[in-house]
Amino acid sequence: MSGAGISVNAGIPDYQTLRKSEKSSFDISVYNSAADTARFLTMVCNLSRQSSQAKPTAFHCFLDGFASNGRLIRHYTQNIDCIEHRLPNLGERTVQLHGRIDEAVYKSCGWRTSFLPTWFCGSDLPDCTRCQGVALERERMGQRQRGIGRLRPNVVLYGEDNPSGHIIGELAERDIKTGPDAIFMVGTALKVPGAKKLARKLCRAVKARGGVTVSINKDDAYSPHVSFTAVIERLESDKLHMISELKESNNHIAEAIELKDLAEREVAHFKSIAQAIEIDNEKLQQEVKTLTEVVEHFKSTTVKSLDEFTNNLKFGLNLFAAKTSSECPPFK
């Protein structure tokens, strides 16, 4: 799960900086007055321009590497800049929790279209083009008009429900069932209640199966409301080059995984051979034991029979000698 911190190096200001520089906020109250709405729309248009020009950071590319070799189950982000979608693999693994800056939406009907800054000049929100089409059709058919909705940037604001909340919840449940063994919270203090709740849920699931949970931030933005295995704070800028090195080593990791799989297959093969040898050895030992018993039985029965035969022969000869000649000496 990522926050604004991972996009700062791409030229996207974090929310604290935006609030100070643009004198606006991401609260639903921005639509309460024309002046607040105008400031908010100006801020969103500036952010849209910055996002369209931004390039993925080393950390985005690092995540894309994990996505490419199948090690990334999901990337949940609170960012709306859509930088992930400029990479070949990360975009399809990314869930944007708070909307996206490149879309406009009419909340009531859920219709979405591309965000065009020219539509959002001043304080007036543009009409929903889909509603306009429906209104014209109803007018043509002589039906009663239902009104035309207004488009707004597809950004989830503080104080409003996330219309995609139930979908995100179901997706998180499916992700948990896949058995993740690590989760990283990067560049976020988890101050938004929905994100904090999701973070707790994911961390509990990972810890339950003996995995690790890590919080990584450039400053001390650690959230005490979520339990982590490790917390990395105050990450200095001159240490961020490590991300590039990690990305480079990610290819070596993929190669190591292939070698590991090959080694495991070889070990399994040798184990099967050893088991076969062990089985053959057990059979041989059993056969030797049986043969030994047969020999011992043969020796005992043969010697016993020979002794009986000798005694009987001696007795018969002596008896014969006694009857035929009393002078014949005893047979020995």
- Which residues lie across from 158 on neighbouring strands? 27
Q: What phi, psi does 103 have (nearest 5°)?
A: -130, 150
* Neighbour count for residue 175 (Cβ, 10 Å): 16
- Which member of 60, 75, 98, 166 is catalytic? 98
Tokens of 95: 């869930």
Specify burial of residue 269 (Cβ count, 10 A radius: 0-12, 13-18, 19+). Answer: exposed
DSSP class per residue in 15-66? HHHHHHHHS--SBGGGGSSHHHHHHHHHHHHHHHHHHHH----HHHHHHHHH
Tokens of 203: 């961390």
Instruction: State how far the Cα of 225 lies from the Cα of 209, in Å rounded to an integer.
Output: 21
Instruction: State how far the Cα of 153 lies from the Cα of 107, in Å rounded to an integer.
Output: 10
Whether 85 is catalytic is no
- Which residues lie across from 331 on neighbouring strands? none
Instruction: State how far the Cα of 101 lies from the Cα of 236, in Å rounded to an integer.
Output: 29
> Among 242, 246, 199, 261, which Cα is nearest to 66's?
246
Residues carrying an active site annotation: 98
